[in-house]
Amino acid sequence: MTDLRYDINLRQRIRNNLLRFNRQAPIFTKTIGAAVAITIVESQGDPNIYGLNQSQNGEAAIVITKRAIGLSKHAGQWALPGGRIDDGENSEEAAVRELREEIGLSIERDQILGRLDDYSTRSGFTITPIVVWGGSNLNLIPNPDEVASIHRLPLRELMRKDAPILETIPESKNPVILMPVGYSYIAAPTAAVLYQFREVAINGCSELRVAHFEQPYFAWR
C-alpha cells in the first residue's frame, strides 16, 4: 500500500515524479489563462465530507474548497484554490496569489513542486495546475467573497479502486470524469486535475493524460 503520510519522503517522491513528467501545454487562443493550486497539507482531523471517515493527524491531504454561491462562474461547486492569471503574472505567481487571497495561505517559492498538464474548460478557461507543499498546523481562513468552506481531502480517498468514474453524455463524444468522494463525487475540471495528480505525482505514471476528459453538462457554463 502506498505510504501517504505527510512527511519529507512523500514530498520528495512527488517532486521527483513531477520532474520526470513531460507536461503538455497546448496553445488555445480563445481561452482565458488560469491557475489552480493542488496544495498538499497535513490533515488535522477534519470533519466528514459526504460520508468520509474522519481524517487522521499525520496523513497527507489536499485542500479543496466549496465555491461561494454568489460567484458568476461555477458557484457552489467543488474547486481547487485558483483563478485567472493577471497581466504580468505567470501560472505559479497566480496560484500563489490565489492561495493567499482565497484561503489565507502564504507560501515560498521552494514549496512549489511542479506542474501538471493544462486543462481547458467548457466555460472558456485553460487551467494550469501547480502542485504545492502547503505545510502543517495551518489556520486556513476562507475569503467569503469567493469561498464558502475549506476542506482537507485525504490523499487516500484519491487512491480508491473505483476512481475515476467515467460516464457518457449525449452532448459529447468524450467520457465525463468524476472522482468519488465518500458517497458523492467531485466533477471535472477538478476531477481531471486530481486524477492526473494521483497517477503522475503519486504513482509515477508519467504518460497519463486527462485533457480529453469531459465535464458534466452543469459545469459548461
| DSSP state letters, 78-125 | EE-SEEEPPTT--HHHHHHHHHHHHH-----GGGEEEE---EE-TTSE
CA distance 147 to 71: 9
CA distance 208 to 3: 21
| Closest of 112, 159, 158, 116 to residue 18, by C-alpha | 116
Q: What is the mean pLDDT of the chain?
A: 89
CA distance 217 to 37: 24
Q: How many CA atoms lie within 13 A of 47 on its CB side?
A: 2
What pLDDT, in 10s, does the model give residues 25-80? 766 667 899 999 999 999 876 655 666 665 666 899 999 998 776 655 655 678 89
Do the beta carbons of residue 66 and residue 172 sit within 8 Å? no
pLDDT tops 80 at residue 200:
yes
Q: Which span out of 24-33, 133-142, 195-204 was modeled with the highest average pLDDT? A: 195-204
What's the CATH code, domain 8-157? 3.90.79.10
SS3 67: strand
Q: Could you give phi then psi for residue 110, rounded to 5 degrees? A: -75, -5
CA distance 110 to 96: 12
Instruction: Provide the pLDDT for residue 24.
Output: 85
Instruction: Provide the pLDDT for residue 190.
Output: 94
C-alpha cell at 4: 501517504
